[in-house]
Amino acid sequence: MRQEEILYMFPQAMRGKWAQAAAQADSLQEIRMRVNAPATVLIGNREWFVDGAGRLLDRQPAGAACSAEELEAVLKHLCQYSVYAFADEIRQGFLTVQGGHRVGLAGQVILEDGNRVRNLKYIRYLNIRIAHEIKGVSDRVLPYLYDRRGGVLNTLLVSPPGCGKTTMLRDIIRHLSDGTKYGQGVNVSVVDERSEIAGSYLGIAQNDVGIRTDVLDGCPKQEGMMMLIRAMAPRVLAVDELGSEGDIRALQMASGCGCKLIATIHGESLAEIRRKKYMRDIMEDRLFERYLVLTKKNGQCQVEGIYDGEGLRC
């Protein structure tokens, strides 16, 4: 099924070229297409070139450069021949397609009012990132996310980029929503600003985020949190990548409304997070009752530590 999903991203005429790469669906991480350069794929952290016949080569093939027409055909196909319907996403530089795969786009930016991105034209670079949903990745940390009465604890996932915090967050959301042996399933609302958590396509979550989960896709976090609290009355509110004082203020308001919070933030350690000005206050107020710190050792993502609200290891 995954192999077909990858082939479906290409128009009929190009499927032959991508068949060999798609056959490696389980370890395929990335497909990159650039105009006037050969296509490359990342399979199991190793880069391969794709020649005109679709063979995977470890050195640059001659005369296998992608053309602008080829990229345009792929883009149109990904947009279901309705590019206008994806204009907001294109403006942000990415698309989410069926299966939750994300397509990064680059080209020439059209600005308005001096510095606001109005649109992208001459899209000449595509980076298709294959979604790999890993279920069960949060099993080990689940007992720490509930209090003794089965209530969910406000939790912050701290991780440097590429250590799987979104994957962990998604799995936690799924567990909280479906229910576990530690607590009953609760209504979870997700503000998925960049469609990374649920991987929504045409409004439908492509990743399993649980049966009691509502997703607000493509909405800025601050507005999204308030909208969801007013509209969906969640017990748990989940957001990815806190990054501004506004996000923190919205979190504090959400907490004041009785919601439990699950969030992620970029960072190497708790000490580093504490140094961020906008984080200091909420850490002192103990808004979060659990901190999960993720790290990568020998290429493997793992939980470095679980801490309580005071920063003590659990």
Partner 1 sequence: MLKLVGSLCILAGCIGWGANRIGEEKSRIRHLQEWIRIIRRIQNEIAYGKRTLPEICLLLSESCPEPYRECFGAIYEQAGRQEGEGLEQIWQRQVAQCLSAVRLPEEEKEILKCLPLDPGIQEEKFQAERIGQSMDLLTRKCRQAEDAYENKARVTTCLSILAGVFMTILLL
- Applying CB under 8 A, the residues found at the interface with partner 1 are 4, 7-8, 10-15, 72, 75-77, 79-85, 87, 90, 119-121, 202
Cβ-based nearer residue to partner 1, 107 or 267: 107
Residues near 272 by beta carbon (within 8 Å), at least 6 away in sequence = none
The full DSSP string for 153-168 is PPEEEEE-TTS-HHHH
Nearest distance from residue 72's CB to partner 1, in Å? 7
51, 38 Cβ separation under 8 angstroms = yes
Residue 64 backbone dihedrals phi, psi, to 5 degrees: -120, 30
Smallest CA-to-CA distance from 199 within 235, 238, 170 is with: 170
- Output 73 or 232, the one with its CB closest to partner 1: 73
Give 83 or 306: the residue with its C-beta nearer to partner 1. 83
Run of H or E residues at 22: helix 15-22
CB of 89 to partner 1, least distance (A): 10
What element of type H or E holds 245?
Answer: helix 245-256
Smallest gap from Cβ 217 to partner 1, in A, equals 13
Q: How far is the CB of 10 from partner 1 (least distance, A)?
A: 7
Give the span between the Cα atoms of 205 and 166, in whole angstroms: 15
221 CB contacts (<8 Å, ≥6 apart)? 191, 193, 239, 242, 246, 247, 250
> Smallest distance, Å, CB 114 to partner 1?
19
Q: Which two tokens stand for residue 10?
A: 């290409």
Q: Which is nearer to partner 1, 80 or 244 (CB)?
A: 80
CB of 73 to partner 1, least distance (A): 8
Q: Which is nearer to partner 1, 99 or 234 (CB)?
A: 99
Q: How far apart are CA 169 and CA 308, in angstroms?
A: 18
Q: Which is nearer to partner 1, 14 or 257 (CB)?
A: 14
